[in-house]
Structure 1
């Protein structure tokens, strides 16, 4: 069965296994990775994040992005869902369920809703499903850049800015220095280094994932040292899982219906659904470290995106196979009609 095949791939994915290992190591060795610990996580992670976003800039093709500029309605839909519809869904959920869930978990769900879309998996799934790849590249890349400014702004609406909240000005400067600057430097270095890193793109992905694992480990170390996990219990994990499943189901239904209501072609529908429903752990983890700092509840804030990430991969992988199968059937039917009968 296709679903079982994707489940097997999910559980043998070294990165997802690494996230489980990182949380376990944080439970066993919490002081090593906490702020001020022997690992010096704050320095190691900052250097790693800068390097990873520089490599993203080197690998980002401006030619492909410019090729995807044509469909304005598609771009508006994707960015609207990413930064408007997702947060509005959270507002409604908070009215209904906010009082029953821990405040930090609700903040974690809002942080998930405020994040930009993924780049690599959105583009890969769009391509495998037979969708509009240039449009997916443009929207995923645009979302990542917009997220540097919009994600902390949206978070400030919930937690406040200034005393007791986040320092929005300082946070934006930090995000520009750690995320936007290396992206720009990577683009400037692309004529010199683009071909070399294109040949070794696999290692860029590995470096990306290793930095995320360090961020997850450090976040959970701080949470363990503060005693936050001991206070919450296992019900918080069940609540985070149930909420992530429900959110993904709602957003996939809404994006699919909206794309069809706008009469998108199948290729544009695929790009819209996969880009508008995804949320980026690769951007979310380093952003959280910059927005929330060494907050003892950072592990709980990151929990929803850590669960949503593998869920979106497996569900969208199944959807991509279904889209591709439908495309093959339509192509076969057209070929049958085109062949004249003797």
Structure 2
């Protein structure tokens, strides 16, 4: 029996379990230090595997579609932070100051890779462009996110300076990623055939970070500082941000005369935020006791974006199927499967490898 469309996935329940475990049995002292070192190793391994898995041919495919990619990056790293700041009169009263800082951090994060591609494929959008845009956002975000976060969080304490954060993130995230890319031709095929390894490391590292961050935050009195009303307000605040991003990307895509397939890719790549990169960067950018409150808005946004985008993708897929007969298989509604070639196969294979933590 298939899972209902709006039912949270198993990984969401695992995240909740990690938060509950940290709340009831937080690690302290030596155990916290061991957990911190273990988490750093897991993060390095995660980005090494992602670097080894990501096909350079798939990343470079459709790179010439610069207008689409520029719009996605503009939405991700400029419009989203502006939404977070401009909506402060609405969002700030709904949550605590610490949660609002987490919302601003959320706004500075790159887009997801796996789920952006998967939803674009479901909705019969421009899959090659989605692969290129989402991959570029993920890589560029390693350097841009700390700078953007430093600007939008300048009045909220707890964050490392932009350049210090970039130096730390370069060492912990980018160096392992580059090492994986250098070895991609040797081990990329094996990792592609054992994709579950990347998924296990991805989810495992996120759960470790969540448990470690919330352990430190609970020890500092997190749940005394975050009342139930603020948690309910956080759901509303994240919903407002996602709605603004979906509406804005849709309107800009039409205003700039992109065709239907391109608009689908723009909406899904430009409106989503990466959970895996967010929790790893939060651990580096913020003090350990503040990371728990900072990643809480991201965890809520993650589930909301999955449910909303899944519903939209299915709805647009039905519309495209209905319109296909009238167009006789032509136009943006009909995107043919590739007939062959390494790049074409890499594009479609990426759509079938959606990671559960980012799906």
Distance 1:52 1:43 in 2: 14
Select the residue among 114, 125, 131 that pairs with 2:125: 131
- The normalised TM-score by structure 1 is 0.90
Distance 2:242 2:226 in 1: 24
Distance 2:5 2:200 in 1: 21
Instruction: Say if 1:159 and 1:166, in contact at 8 Å, map to a contact too.
Output: no
Select the residue among 142, 151, 159 that pairs with 2:145: 151
Give the secondary-structure state (helix, strand or coil) at the position aligned to 1:7: coil
Alpha-carbon spacing, 1:75–1:60, altered in 2? closer, same or farther (3 Å): same
Select the residue among 99, 123, 126 that pairs with 1:105: 99
For 1:23, the equivalent position in structure 2 comes to 19
The yes-or-no answer on 1:297 pairing with 2:293 is no
The yes-or-no answer on 1:176 pairing with 2:176 is no
The yes-or-no answer on 1:324 pairing with 2:324 is no
CA deviation map 1:6-25 (0-9, x unaligned): 113x2xx2211101100110
Alpha-carbon spacing, 1:28–1:101, altered in 2? closer, same or farther (3 Å): closer
Give the secondary-structure state (helix, strand or coil) at the position aligned to 2:5: helix
Aligned residue pairs total: 328
CA deviation map 1:269-310 (0-9, x unaligned): 11100000000011000100000031x232111111100001
Instruction: Say if 2:104 and 2:153, in contact at 8 Å, map to a contact too.
Output: no
The yes-or-no answer on 1:334 pairing with 2:333 is no
Give the secondary-structure state (helix, strand or coil) at the position aligned to 1:70: coil
CA deviation map 1:20-56 (0-9, x unaligned): 10011011101x2x46425712101110001011111
Distance 2:75 2:43 in 1: 27
Instruction: Say if 1:122 and 1:275, in contact at 8 Å, map to a contact too.
Output: yes
How far the C-alpha of 1:312 sits from its partner, in A, is: 0.6
Q: More helix by proportion, 1 or 2?
A: 1
Distance 1:35 1:325 in 2: 54
State which drifts further: 151-160 or 61-70: 151-160
- Structure 2: where are the runs of 5+ without partners? 331-359
Instruction: Say if 2:49 and 2:177, in contact at 8 Å, map to a contact too.
Output: yes
Let me know the Cα RMSD of the aligned residues: 2.1
Instruction: Say if 1:83 and 1:116, in contact at 8 Å, map to a contact too.
Output: yes
How far the C-alpha of 1:79 sits from its partner, in A, is: 0.2
Instruction: Say if 1:175 and 1:290, in contact at 8 Å, map to a contact too.
Output: yes
The yes-or-no answer on 1:71 pairing with 2:68 is no
Distance 2:280 2:30 in 1: 18
CA deviation map 1:102-155 (0-9, x unaligned): 211110000000000001111111112111111111111111111111111112
Distance 2:43 2:201 in 1: 9
The yes-or-no answer on 1:307 pairing with 2:300 is yes
Alpha-carbon spacing, 1:67–1:39, altered in 2? closer, same or farther (3 Å): same
Give the secondary-structure state (helix, strand or coil) at the position aligned to 1:278: coil
- Structure 1: where are the runs of 5+ without partners? 338-342
Alpha-carbon spacing, 1:99–1:24, altered in 2? closer, same or farther (3 Å): closer
Distance 1:63 1:100 in 2: 45
Q: How does 1:146-225 map to 2 (within 5 A)?
A: 146-160=140-154, 166-225=160-219
Give the secondary-structure state (helix, strand or coil) at the position aligned to 1:285: helix
Give the secondary-structure state (helix, strand or coil) at the position aligned to 1:40: helix
